[in-house]
Structure 1
Amino acid sequence: MSTTQLFFACSQYAAATVTAAIRAGLFGPRSEHRRILVATDRSTLPEIGTPLDRMPGFEALRPEFDDICSWNDFIQPFHPADWSPREQDTLLWERALRRAWNLGRGPVEIACESIQGNPSKAVVKIFTDSPVHVYADGLMSYGPTRNKIDPQLGTRIERLLYLDLVPGLRPLLLTEFGVDTEIVPTATFAQVLAELSDAAEDSGHSSEGFPALLLGQYLSAIDVLTADEEQQLHIRMLQGAARLGHRYINFKPHPSAPLSWSRALEVEADRLDVDFRVLDSPVLAEVHYQRLRPALVVGCFSTALLTASTLYGLPVARCGTDVLLGRLAPYQNSNRVPVTIADALLPDLEDLPAVKSWSFSKACQTQEALTDLVSAVGFSMQPSIYPSLRPVAEGYLSRHLNGHTWRYFSRPRLTRLGLPGSAPARLAFISRNSGVRRVVRRARSLNRAILSRD
């Protein structure tokens, strides 16, 4: 009896990742499996979005799958980011799902993204006996597991598949269960992206020279920045690219971002006297890399910054990571490791000499320090899940904690964990005293008010 493999994908990038894994033979021979791509749209209003299987270039990915199913359609009117079945209903949902997708009674394997968010969380509850393969299509895999996972689920996870975006850096995700890790071959992934680019329709690229490309992420949607702050971040990117001498600048906004942000950038571009275009076609940034060959790629902590440098050898620069490191709350926010990696590895857009002299090969020469930094941050985020990392964290903090690396840590957090950099014992009560914290917040508020009047 053949096994049915369900590949859940929330984005074209995720679908390209699992397609590369299949082509590399990481999911066994085609003859022994029925493969279904389960498309999911987790955006706020999926009803007005473009379904994954109708995005430009999808036909390049289609041949690897026997069927395409929609998770949104199956669970409607519920939203895929929120819905998960009640424990007592899982058997009913399994029967309904097997009937709707013609799964029969045979074995089912699940390949999904973040195991602690829906729809992954929902489907592993429905198929309670199925083995699970987690694949990571970005920098999140290098960080710790967000929360403690039920051991009954953790022991079902057979492996973590990930892209080698930072060569030599090993994922921390799910290591508490001894989950094996496998790299999705970079060459295979690059070939899938090339085919996707060839199949995608022309997206209105500028033919003028080699432009700088700015990447939007829609960080205000996850409450990291306000909408105004994110708009200002994009303007900083534009100004920084212009200061570096780029006269042709393209902006790839997040698909769900407000149109007003692009208009604000157009106004600033006119003031700076640069040729500015918005690339609003729903294609991956990597498609633009292949067609534009940008002279510089600028973003905050987007995974696309690492694919630009690792896969295509393009110059990159980060902008705004210093602000985000101070804003992410709580400290164990799952975006912290991706922001840390971008900040530690990539040059600051506003440091012009650093941008001009930076190369990915030179940055990777400090691999051991980056590995220890990520381990120290990971332990500080989730000490109860990764107690074995305490010696690494203590060693890193003892040797490397300075004016620059403090941005990756929080003194109250270090104090709570008894790590180097803690507040002196006689002052440690401050971080735990609500009255003192209230006075500090009031003082900061007054200080900001005074500065704004100046």
Structure 2
Amino acid sequence: MTDANRTTQIFEASTLYGAATLAAALDAGQFGPRGAARRVLLVSNNATIPETAAELSEMAGWRGIAARFDTVIDWNETISPHHPSDWGPADRDAPVWERMLRRFWGLGDGRVELIVESVHAKPAAALATIFADADVHVYADGLMSYGPTRDRLPADTAIRVQRLLHLDLVPGLRPLLLAEHDVPSEVVPDDAFRAVLDEISAESRDGAGAGDDEEVPAQVAVILGQYLAALEILTPREEEALHERMLRGAAAAGFRAVVFKPHPTAPAHYSKVLEKAAADLGVRLTVLDTPMLAETVFERYRPGLVVGCFSTAMFTASAYYGVPIARVGTGPLLERITPYQNSNRVPLTIVDALVPDLERAKAGEVVTARADAARSVGPLVRTVGYCMQGKLNPGLRPEAEAWLDAHLNEETWRYFKRARLTALALPGGFASGLARQLPGSGTALRIARRVRKATLRDGKDGKAKR
């Protein structure tokens, strides 16, 4: 029986990777000793159609993660029939929801702490509204933590955010997420996270469908699917072609065995296209249809290469398993993702800047991410971050101007849009030098836009129409 005045820590998670990050933080003592507070794991299935996506409880390694918590609660069931990504209480209804959830979840009158992902988005934003007095801790389980906050946080939420916990995927690179609120960042220790990954892999081997008797090729490449069509970045046909390019690149690098790890929500016909390409190339293809972490695949197959587009799992392969990684298709995606503020832009930029292009590298030349990654990519990430969310991060402007003045060239243009640089009166924009000298940002932007329109008409008609 729980003490009515006992502190309750509510950990919200929507992915097994995120839950593993929380488990590592707990093991490292970053939320105090076991027993000091009641620990509730609140599971949310944020898939577009939750009923068609694998539940966390169905994934290999779930039992060990869940055992670290006193209670596991299903958020989808709690708010049914609403969708977790859409629903949030009206402000006037928040106190009613808090009283109901405290009674329904047995929280009593004690203090509540929230540990959430993506605090600016639902369901985390909904929880922060309901538990209006709770301290908030944010954890980030991927490359997006290095990008700026997507939306401005309500002031009453921002003042409650205590810290950002994140994995050190790009050693030494500091996250921009929540930096506008001076939220301190805290690294989840590498050894704790790797230990959790090993635990998940061991449970996967012991569980049904783990494939213990499967013959594992001596030298294998792993292809990571992301299902970019779901993000409307690529069409399904274009994503099929991207996977095929990854397969052909791995074959060209000398790999005769390839494992395809599809995204959990990817359609089955994606693997059919790869199967035909593999047959044509004489490559042995294994398609994994058991829901499991990509990291479990790395442990099981011990690959000689991991290929992806801009998946976070590429960096866990490099940082935690020492596996060489390579990218395919990042260039066109930098052009296509919209708007410029799209949160995927920073992960895409990091991968493009640090990871070798498989289709340009010669066989045997794919390597791990650069050892000086933070120093080499940090200024670029902060410049891109300012261009994405300049109003939230005005302090980054001097560094962004200096970097663009010194480094903007044919090679680096792919990370920027001229219209964006123009709107911000930055180097590389139309009449940026003039715009930066004019008094008043409104005047500067109006003149810059007129110059841009005139330039575009000149290019189209041969002369500017007045």
TM-score range, shorter chain: over 0.9
SS for the counterpart of 2:95 is helix
Q: CA deviation at 1:208?
A: 1.9
Q: 1:203 aligns with which of 206, 210, 230?
A: 210
Q: 2:8 aligns with which of 4, 7, 12?
A: 4
* One-letter amino acid of the structure 1 residue matched with residue 45 of structure 2: D
Aligned match of 1:405: 412
Aligned match of 2:307: 298
Paired positions, count: 437
Q: CA deviation at 1:48?
A: 3.3
Aligned match of 2:23: 19
> TM-score, length-normalised on structure 1?
0.93
- Distance in 1 between the 2:116 and 2:363 partners? 38
Q: 2:326 aligns with which of 310, 317, 322?
A: 317
Alignment of 1:46-445 (within 5 A): 46-200=50-204, 201=207, 202-204=209-211, 206-353=215-362, 356=365, 358-360=367-369, 363-424=370-431, 428-429=448-449, 433=453
Q: CA deviation at 1:236?
A: 0.7
Whether the 8 Å CA contact 1:39–1:71 is kept in 2: the answer is yes
- Distance in 2 between the 1:300 and 1:55 partners? 24
Whether the 8 Å CA contact 2:307–2:314 is kept in 1: the answer is yes
Whether the 8 Å CA contact 1:39–1:53 is kept in 2: the answer is no
Whether the 8 Å CA contact 2:119–2:125 is kept in 1: the answer is yes
Q: CA deviation at 1:61?
A: 1.2
Whether the 8 Å CA contact 1:8–1:38 is kept in 2: the answer is yes
- Distance in 2 between the 1:366 and 1:184 partners? 19
* One-letter amino acid of the structure 2 residue matched with residue 260 of structure 1: H
Q: CA deviation at 1:395?
A: 1.4
Segments of structure 2 that go 5 or more residues without pairing to the other structure are 435-446, 461-466
Q: CA deviation at 1:42?
A: 0.6
After TM superposition, the structure 1 stretch with the greater mean CA deviation from structure 2, 410-419 or 153-162, is 410-419
Task: Give the share of equivalent positions with the same residue, in percent.
Answer: 49
SS for the counterpart of 1:132 is strand
Whether the 8 Å CA contact 1:36–1:66 is kept in 2: the answer is yes
Kindly tell me: are residues 385 and 270 of structure 1, through their superposed partners in 2, closer, same or farther at Cα, counting changes over 3 Å? same
Q: CA deviation at 1:354?
A: 8.5
- Distance in 2 between the 1:61 and 1:219 partners? 28
* One-letter amino acid of the structure 1 residue matched with residue 291 of structure 2: P
SS for the counterpart of 1:68 is strand
CA RMSD of aligned residues (A): 1.9
Aligned match of 2:464: none
Aligned match of 1:448: none
* One-letter amino acid of the structure 2 residue matched with residue 333 of structure 1: N
- Distance in 1 between the 2:415 and 2:94 partners? 41
- Distance in 1 between the 2:368 and 2:51 partners? 42
Aligned match of 2:437: none
- Distance in 2 between the 1:197 and 1:257 partners? 23
Aligned match of 2:48: 44
Aligned match of 1:443: none
Q: CA deviation at 1:396?
A: 1.0
More helix by share: 1
Aligned match of 2:438: none
Kindly tell me: are residues 83 and 206 of structure 1, through their superposed partners in 2, closer, same or farther at Cα, counting changes over 3 Å? farther
Segments of structure 1 that go 5 or more residues without pairing to the other structure are 441-454
SS for the counterpart of 1:32 is coil
Deviations 1:14-61 (A, max 9, x none): 110001001111101222100011111111221233321232211111
- Distance in 2 between the 1:30 and 1:56 partners? 24
Kindly tell me: are residues 408 and 107 of structure 1, through their superposed partners in 2, closer, same or farther at Cα, counting changes over 3 Å? same
Whether the 8 Å CA contact 1:347–1:354 is kept in 2: the answer is no
Q: CA deviation at 1:434?
A: 11
Q: CA deviation at 1:357?
A: 5.1
SS for the counterpart of 2:219 is coil
SS for the counterpart of 2:119 is coil
Deviations 1:288-333 (A, max 9, x none): 1111001110001000000000000001001111111001111111
- Distance in 2 between the 1:416 and 1:62 partners? 48
Kindly tell me: are residues 307 and 431 of structure 1, through their superposed partners in 2, closer, same or farther at Cα, counting changes over 3 Å? farther
Whether the 8 Å CA contact 1:203–1:279 is kept in 2: the answer is no
SS for the counterpart of 1:64 is coil
- Distance in 1 between the 2:135 and 2:323 partners? 38
Kindly tell me: are residues 154 and 238 of structure 1, through their superposed partners in 2, closer, same or farther at Cα, counting changes over 3 Å? same
